[in-house]
Each structure stands twice: as C-alpha cells, then as structure tokens.
Structure 1
Amino acid sequence: MTKQHASLLLTTAQLWQFSLNYYGIREVKTACLNLQNQFNGNVNLLLLLVWLDQHQLTIQAEDWVSIENTLDHSESLLLPYRELRRKLKNHVSEPLYREALEFELQLEQRQQSDLVEHINTLTLYRATEKPLTQQYCLKLGCEHLFTSFETSAEQLKMK
C-alpha cells in the first residue's frame, strides 16, 4: 500500500491551545505526569502526537529520530529547571513559586514551537497504521497509558 501525502500546516498557537484544552482533562494530566516522571517521556512531544493522531496524520519511521533530536536543546534547559523548581516548592513563597512555574511554562511553549517548526518541514501522510501516540507509549514501555490518551482525545473531539 502506498502512503498518501497529506498537508496541514500547524502553528505554535494552535498546538498550545490544543495542549491547554487537552491537558485540562484530569485523566490526561495524570497520565502525562506519569509518562514524564515514571517513563522519561516528553509531554510536549506526546501532545504533538495526539494532535497529529486527531488529524489522522502520521510521519515516516525515520522521522522519529529527527523529531527527538529537535528536543535536545530545549530539554537541556527544561529538565534542570523543572528539577530546581520542584526542589524550591516548599522553600519559597507561593507567589515566587508561581513565577517559577510560569517561567517553566514559557520554556514548554518554546519547546512546542521548536517541535512545530520541525514538524512543518516533514512530509506528513494519511495515517493507516498504529496511532503515533500508541507508538510513542510502546517505545517508552508505558502502553497502558495509551488508553487514557486515546479516550480523552475522543472526548475532546466531541466537545
């Protein structure tokens, strides 16, 4: 079966808004934090993959490496900052902690921007195989989380 090219231009604003809505579902937030904290997954990558799945788009297998490489720079900033923020939580005032959290969200948004820039350089295809979200969960060894992501994505579509 030949792959059918698909074109859809994603903007950072679209992905960010989708992420806020999707992450706002309690089950998604719990599953995302589990994916991040227990399986070293990248939540922004997962959110992009869910968005692509919802639009029935996929990438070529060889594109996974380049997408993950896109994360290298932002992860080198985000991961140490997140760890520092967590350590500060019980030692700083609530307003200062909220500022630290807001800065972390800015780093997250920058990471999403990097992902969007990169995904827009790739050739996308109509999805005919396993959803990208499921492939990512399998890769991380947390396939049990896929059900939470899939069910919640379907709920979001219905809204």
Structure 2
Amino acid sequence: MPLNCNLPINKQQKALLTCEAFWTFSLSHYKKQGVQSAALALQDKHKGNVNLALLLIWLDSLNIQFPPLHITLLESSLNTTDALLTSYRALRKKIKQTGVIELYQQALQFELHLEKQQQTDLIETVLRIELKQANQQNSLLHIYCCSLNAESLYLSLQAKKGA
C-alpha cells in the first residue's frame, strides 16, 4: 500500500471527537509553555483562528487527518462566531481599561462561552468530513500555519521542545 494511502478512522477514534473532549484538550494544551503567546501571535499578527489551530493540533495528536482543502470548510464554519469574537474581544479590552474587575470577569466568561460555541461549530463540521488515520507525513497544523505565513509559530503551538 502506498505511504500516502490512509485508512478511514474507526468507530472508537470517531467516538473521541466530542465537544467536551476538545474543550478539555484545548484548556490543557493552551496552558503549556509558549502556546498562549504563539496562539495570540497567530491570531493577532497572522489573522489565524486559535480554535481551529487547537483543533488541528488535537487531530494531529490523535493521528487523524483529512484532505487539507477541508481547512477552508472549517474556516467557513467559523464566520459567524469569528465576527462576534473579534468585536467582543475589543469590547472586553476596553472594559479591562476601566478597572471594573467584576464587569471584566463577566465579559471574559461570555467570551469563553463564544469560544466554546466556536469549538462546537468546528466539531460539528469536522464530523462531516471524511477523516483518515494520519500517515505522519503531513501535519494539519503545519499546513494551516504555512497557509497563514506563520510557519515560525508551528513548533510553539505544538508545545514541542526547541521552539
């Protein structure tokens, strides 16, 4: 069998792809050294989506992939929440400047709610894509970073040593 011929994922692998599991992974991965700063650089300097990057990191870690052209389908699924999040982040930053901590915390909690909705949208979309077992040759995250001209952030987003 050629090296680039991937097998479909099995039922056990597909069962792992839940909103809760993705959220848990994301919270844990985001806390790793260097990930937060790389994610914010991806978002602010390269106009990338942190939740999409986290999804691709998660899928890479589960040895699951799909044809890279489907990344644009995932990006499209974020159109509604991305516009909301961008506006809300700006508002939250203004609230932070007021020094009203309680209001800032409420704004942050609502932003996290939007982030969770965005992750739900991503999972719903990824489950409609034909998923394959990864052949270890192409990282979805690497492909995404290259498409954003953010290849320098790849290792830091993965939380790999030497970044």
> How many residue pairs end up in the alignment?
153
Q: What's 1:30 paired with?
A: 37
- Deviations along 1:44-99, one digit per CA (max 9) or x if unpaired, are 00110000000111111331221111011111211111111112211140111111
- Identity %, equivalent residues: 37
Taking the TM superposition and a 5 Å limit, the aligned residue runs for 1:128-139 are 128=135, 129-139=137-147
Unaligned runs of 5+ in 2: none
Q: Greater CA deviation, 1-10 or 12-21?
A: 1-10
Give the TM-score of the pair, scaled to structure 2: 0.88
Task: Tell whether the 8 Å contact from 1:54 to 1:153 is kept in structure 2 after alignment.
Answer: no
Deviation at 1:153, TM superposition (A): 6.0
Q: 1:73 to 1:60 in 2, by over 3 A?
A: same
CA distance in 1, matches of 2:126, 2:75: 11
Matched, 1:51 2:58: yes
Unaligned runs of 5+ in 1: 155-159
Q: How much is the aligned-residue C-alpha RMSD, in angstroms?
A: 1.5
Q: Aligned partner of 2:20: which letter?
A: A
CA distance in 2, matches of 1:131, 1:110: 25
Residue 3 (structure 1) aligned to one of 6, 18, 24: 6
CA distance in 1, matches of 2:128, 2:20: 17
Give the TM-score of the pair, scaled to structure 1: 0.90
Runs of 4+ aligned structure 1 residues displaced above 3 Å come to: none
